[in-house]
Amino acid sequence: MVKVCRDFDFGACEQNEWYIMAEPGEQNQQLESSEETVTNEVSAETPVEGLAETSENLEELEQKRIAINDDAEKHKKLRDDLNKQTREWISKRDDLNGQVRELVEEAGKHRTQRDEFNQKVKESKVVRDELNQKVAQIKKEYDVLKKDQPAQDKNQPSLRQLKKEFSDLETRQQTQVLKKKEEETLVKRLKEINDMIIEAEKVQEQFGDIREKSGELKVARDDAEKYHKIVSEYAEKAQLEHDTMIQLYKQADVLRKQADEAQARFVECKKAADEEHKKLIEQIKSYHETDKDFLAIKNKQKAVKKRKIDAESKKAADDIFTRFKNGDKLSTEDLMVLQKSGYLS
């Protein structure tokens, strides 16, 4: 129940300091405590027959107080329910915003990692491109050597065979006695073989350069391929970090939308709660005004009844005093009545 105090502080109530209305038993105590302040408003000439009319007014005011009190209680309950919902929406909003902050922070870490991988991709591409240029240059040199290589006669004896034949002929020339014609033929053959050896050595030397260039080309290609793989690995890692970051931002957007909805519901409930509180204050003020009228009539009734009792007491004292003057014997009770009325003071 809502309590209305005689010295009710409406400013405090408007700051959400709630008051509880007094129970019927407490209302009687309030009436008695305020009688003295209201008695002076009662006219001494108030007719006794007016009590019936004031009783009717008092009953109407009591019914009005009950109705106002019930309505105030409804507004109070609804306000408290709305305030509870308001706190729940605030809690949900703050929890969602906390999750959003965590997701955004986590996404930021993946963004930083992604940027670092992208930087490594950039740096690795520079090295890879330099190696690719090196491969292209070596390949160009290799192609030139390959192009200048003389065609090899498959019927031509090998360099080893030519050197063996040259050695054998040279030994024969030194160890055998030859006729002049045989000597000339042998010397001619030695010259031919020697020319063939010189040519074969040139060809072999060219083959050696090609083999060396081919090996150099292979190393360069392996290095370029190695850095191509490094570029691909960093690119894949950067893409993974980017995808993770995007997913986290999407989750944060969903939760942020829910947080905005919770904020909207909070504002809605807060506005409704304030409206119910305003209605409650209006009812409390109305109850306060009705209570003042109720107390005024109640005390008027008591004042009229007291006046009636005083008049009856005075009449009884007058009768006893007349009997006293006539010499009648008075009882102890009669003497107390006379003392109360002021005859024996």
pLDDT tens profile 11-41? 334 333 333 333 333 333 433 343 333 333 3
Q: Is the pLDDT of residue 64 over 60?
A: yes
Measured between alpha carbons, how far is 93 from 224 in angstroms, rounded to an integer? Answer: 55
Residues 6+ apart with CB under 8 A from 107: 244, 245, 248, 249, 252
Of the candidate ranges 69-83, 182-196, 200-214, 310-324, the one whose mean pLDDT is the lowest: 200-214
Cβ(300)–Cβ(42) below 8 Å: yes
Q: For the chain, what is the mean pLDDT?
A: 77
pLDDT for 151 beyond 60: no
Lowest mean pLDDT among 47-51, 93-97, 130-134: 47-51
Residue with tokens 């350069």: 209
pLDDT in tens, 178-227: 777 877 887 888 788 777 767 766 666 566 666 787 788 889 989 999 99
Give the residue from 306, 315, 302 showing the smallest Cα distance to 341: 315
Greatest CA separation found in the chain? Answer: 213
Q: How many CA atoms lie within 13 A of 144 on its CB side?
A: 7
